[in-house]
Structure 1
């Protein structure tokens, strides 16, 4: 099973605000808008047209047309006439791959995560916050035919996923509440409120060292998450282990994999501190 964008929630919210930077003479508005266009492209949605880009950024369509024209001229976007849409050129993708390759986090965490899935099956993923979602930095899966697969760079919704909840419980109270308030404005989930969902994750983490999302993001997936925190608390990431519900019992997730997730999170946190890594 491969993650796609059909389960996304709260993705694509634009943080760029012209008014916020109106007094900043060093702020280049055109550059910021161009970067907003590039941020709209995701692994699960590689093709976007001007109308879609205007909707996602909140920018006027004529402005978007000028920006995409410029980005094509710069070799950062490619226009596909048959689709009347754009896609990222490899020059942009190279920036992301270079960032991942030089950050040290992949070499640091992947072997630790892979050892667990080789022994227990399932899959492990590590993510960092991007606005109101998480971006997958590393994904390790077992060799089983049926296992959850997630592309590096995929967006994972913060509220329903164990990765996002693991990240949220690791934040200082004021930072968490800021995100909870924003998530509450965009959440389409029924039943429990955003605050109640996050409080449940906090309570679970305090009681057992991890929090769960059992079928709440993907109905046939059991996931548990925990924060990866540097000793100075300047880095907080979300770690998650996932398995199919028909292959793994909840008791196994709680009693066997829960301690594994806690241990892996602690080891990666120690290594991030030692290397002084920053996302």
Structure 2
């Protein structure tokens, strides 16, 4: 199956200031720290091993600087250097950060049985995700019998600009944060921005009118999806739910009539079960 968006358009290059939308000209912005985090974000499930040259190309950071950063990250336990191939892989220190995040939020635990039930009944893959820069990161998921992606995992990233989960999350963001993220998308995709903006606006109208938006073969050919925003009760964090599957299983009609409304109901139930004082996933 063919994905229609290249990685840069999907994710948007350097993610140093993507989480907060804070400009790099802000005197509080620490460029060295941001570059180190960019290096960690460069690793993907399908690309486990990366060398300094590859990391420099992906982050836009000079190779000499990358070498110092990877050495430091290795010393701190976030990267491991493999001498036989001359490349790095993520080390357990990164896992400890991720597990700490999950341990401090109830939402993925509450979502799990609801996602499992939805996946079983629909046949697709149901997931909960949170925004990181210009990507959505899976926090929890469940696969049904017709699920297409067998390599889905917690921590998997999908682009915010071309998926129903991403569009739903954008709709749910607070106005100031949403404007900042849209500006980042525009800067990362100057040529395609008018088309991307129209698609985001259409999805936002759909969420406003019916509670969910659809992606019909736009991210991956032959795959349909529905996305729903999930605003944490504390008002500080916007998550999103989605359901994806083959278009012959999750038809447009079924998504509109059955599974989209079902996602809206799941989001409502999760929001009602979360205590207002609990910590959200992204802090």
Which runs of structure 2 are paired with 1:110-129 in the superposition (5 Å)? 110-129=112-131
Looking at structure 2, the residues matched to 53 and 227 of structure 1 have their Cα atoms a distance apart, in angstroms, of: 33
Looking at structure 1, the residues matched to 270 and 191 of structure 2 have their Cα atoms a distance apart, in angstroms, of: 32
1:131 to 130, 133, 136: 133
Q: RMSD of the alignment, in Å?
A: 2.8
Q: Tell me whether 234-243 or 50-59 shows the greater mean CA deviation.
A: 50-59
Seen in structure 2, the aligned counterparts of structure 1 residues 190 and 69 have a Cα distance that, compared at 3 Å, is closer
State how many pairs are aligned: 273
Looking at structure 2, the residues matched to 91 and 249 of structure 1 have their Cα atoms a distance apart, in angstroms, of: 42
Q: What is the CA deviation profile of residues 212-238 of structure 1, one whole-angstrom value per residue up to 9, with x for unaligned ones?
A: 111111111110101001344222111
Unmatched 5+ stretches in structure 2: none
Seen in structure 2, the aligned counterparts of structure 1 residues 181 and 51 have a Cα distance that, compared at 3 Å, is same
Partner residue in 2 for 1:106: 108
Partner residue in 2 for 1:246: 248
**Is 1:214 matched up with 2:219?**
no
Q: What is the CA deviation profile of residues 48-77 of structure 1, one whole-angstrom value per residue up to 9, with x for unaligned ones?
A: 111122223332211111221222233321
Looking at structure 2, the residues matched to 278 and 191 of structure 1 have their Cα atoms a distance apart, in angstroms, of: 31
Is the Cα contact below 8 Å between 1:231 and 1:273 reproduced in 2? yes
Looking at structure 2, the residues matched to 70 and 14 of structure 1 have their Cα atoms a distance apart, in angstroms, of: 19
Q: Secondary structure at the match of 1:183?
A: helix
Q: Secondary structure at the match of 1:87?
A: strand
Q: What is the CA distance between 1:106 and its match in structure 2? A: 1.9
**Is 1:14 matched up with 2:19?**
no
Q: Tell me whether 128-137 or 49-58 shows the greater mean CA deviation.
A: 49-58
Looking at structure 2, the residues matched to 138 and 11 of structure 1 have their Cα atoms a distance apart, in angstroms, of: 24
Looking at structure 2, the residues matched to 123 and 197 of structure 1 have their Cα atoms a distance apart, in angstroms, of: 23
Q: Structure 1: which 4+ aligned runs deviate by more than 4 Å?
A: 5-8, 16-19, 27-32, 188-192
Partner residue in 1 for 2:94: 92
Q: What is the CA distance between 1:247 and its match in structure 2? A: 2.3
